[in-house]
Amino acid sequence: MGLFNKKATNVVTEEPEQKEELSPFEKSEQQVVDFYSDFNDERLFTIHLVFENGTEYDLSGQTKKNVGWVVAHKNSGTEGIFQYAVKDGFGIGIDLRKVIILTVKPEETSKDEEDAA
Give dist(CA 32, CA 9) in Å, integer: 49
- pLDDT for 50-72, tens place per residue? 999 999 999 999 999 999 999 99
> Does the pTM exceed 0.85?
no
Give dist(CA 53, CA 99) in Å, integer: 9
pLDDT reported for residue 81: 87
Using DSSP's 3-state secondary structure scheme, residue 107 falls into: coil
Tell me the CA distances in angstroms from 45 to 1, 12, 48, 59, one per residue in order.
Answer: 75, 49, 10, 8
What is the residue type of 25?
A: F
- pLDDT for 84-104, tens place per residue? 766 777 888 899 999 999 999
pLDDT reported for residue 26: 95
Give dist(CA 31, CA 14) in Å, integer: 31
E strand or H helix that includes residue 59: strand 56-62
Give dist(CA 92, CA 81) in Å, integer: 8
